[in-house]
């Protein structure tokens, strides 16, 4: 059984059909990178997985359970999400950003979850920032906190929506390093990204999307170094200067 199964996923915004039928599986411990030009539907696909966008048609399963039916709140505790613009809670300290989910959603023990949150902050190299507020952190630091916040819920999958696109170039590396560590430790990850270097190094599978379809998929070697489809070749020739 796959960790994530997507069957016949379609999504329209009014008359505009953004996803025109997506079928895709992600196995446990796999890192799937989604690349493609803007407007190709890759973020929409990611946001359909945890129903931040409501699919128009199709089915999505996480660990065998259907996401597209039933209580979405409980299903969301299985999948963390990391946003392009971090979306940390500005009125909460860094530590509280990590604990507010487990405390309120999972009714976790306060002392236990705080200890765990400190370990997670240590893991992303920010233990000394626990009592700071997000506004006092750099973009790279905020994104590392956002990853730790997702981890604090013990998710089975983490969805990354262009996690480095809003960062200054010198901060991209620190965030990608944290993501590489996660991949090494066996976290199942779906990453919408423009970082081809990261995709080549870390992904088990890469899909290239354009016009609401998956145009090409395979290993990073196949898709990024030896693309078959003209649209993939054209896109890569523009981004890999």
Partner 1 sequence: MGVYLKGFLIACKGIPATVAVSLVAIVIGAALGLLLALCSQTKSKVLQVIAKVYVDVVRGTPMLVQALIMAYGIPWLLQSWGIGFKWDDFGGMAVPAIIVCGCNSAAYMSEVIRSGIQAIDKGQMEAARSLGMTHGMAMRLIIIPQAVRVILPAFANEFVTLIKETSVLGYVGVVEILRRGQLWNSSSFETFPAYIGVALAYMILTIPLSKIINGYERKMARRESAA
Q: Which residues contact partner 1 by CB under 8 A?
A: 50, 52, 73-74, 76-77, 79-81, 83, 85, 87-91, 100-101, 104-106, 135-136, 149, 153
Give least dist CB 73 to partner 1, A: 5
Encoding tokens for residue 183?
């991949």
The smaller minimum CB distance to partner 1, of residues 55 and 80, is found at 80
Nearer to partner 1, 154 or 201 (CB): 154
Rama region for 151: left / alpha / beta (φ>0; ψ in -120 to 50; rest): alpha
Would you tell me the crossing angle of helices 94-105 and 110-123 to the nearest 10 degrees? 130
Rounded CA separation 33/31 (Å): 6
Q: How far is the CB of 155 from partner 1 (least distance, A)?
A: 10
Minimal distance, residue 70 CB to partner 1, in Å: 13
For partner 1, the closer of residues 106 and 119 by Cβ is 106
Quick one: 133 or 213, whose CB is closer to partner 1?
133
| Residue 35 phi, psi dihedral angles, 5° rounding | -120, 165
Between 15 and 73, CB nearer to partner 1? 73
At residue 16's C-alpha, the angle toward residues 11 and 19, to 5°, is 30
Q: How far is residue 162's CA from residue 194's CA, in Å, rounded to a whole number?
A: 7
SS3 237: helix
CB atoms within 10 A of CB 113: 19
How far apart are CB 14 and partner 1 at their closest, in Å?
16
- Beta bridge partner(s), residue 24: 6
Nearer to partner 1, 91 or 238 (CB): 91
| Cβ at position 102, least distance to partner 1 in Å | 9
Q: Which two tokens stand for residue 70?
A: 């039933």
Cross-strand bridge partners of residue 160: 82, 191
| Nearest approach, Cβ of residue 10 and partner 1 (Å) | 21
Return the closest-CA partner of residue 147 out of 202, 114, 191.
Answer: 191
């Amino acid at each position: 059984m796959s960790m994530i199964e997507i069957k016949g996923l379609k999504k329209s915004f009014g008359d505009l059909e953004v996803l025109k039928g997506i079928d895709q599986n992600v196995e446990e411990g796999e890192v799937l990178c989604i690349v493609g030009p803007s407007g190709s539907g890759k973020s929409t696909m990611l946001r359909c997985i945890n129903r931040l966008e409501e699919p128009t048609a199709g089915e999505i399963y996480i660990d065998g359970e259907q996401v597209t039916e039933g209580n979405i709140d409980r299903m969301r505790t299985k999948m963390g999400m990391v946003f392009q613009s971090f979306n940390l809670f500005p009125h909460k300290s860094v530590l509280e950003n990590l604990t507010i989910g487990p405390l309120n959603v999972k009714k976790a023990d306060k002392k236990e979850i705080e200890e765990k949150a400190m370990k997670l902050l240590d893991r992303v190299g920010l233990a000394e920032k626990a009592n700071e507020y997000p506004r006092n952190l750099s973009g790279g630091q905020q994104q590392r906190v956002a990853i730790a916040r997702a981890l604090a819920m013990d998710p089975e999958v983490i969805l990354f929506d262009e996690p480095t696109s809003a960062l200054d170039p010198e901060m991209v590396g620190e965030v990608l390093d944290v993501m590489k560590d996660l991949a090494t430790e066996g976290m199942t990850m779906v990453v919408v990204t423009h970082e081809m270097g990261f995709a080549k190094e870390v992904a088990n599978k890469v899909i290239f999307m354009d016009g609401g379809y998956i145009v090409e998929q395979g290993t990073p070697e196949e898709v990024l170094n030896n693309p078959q489809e003209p649209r993939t070749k054209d896109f890569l020739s523009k981004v890999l200067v």
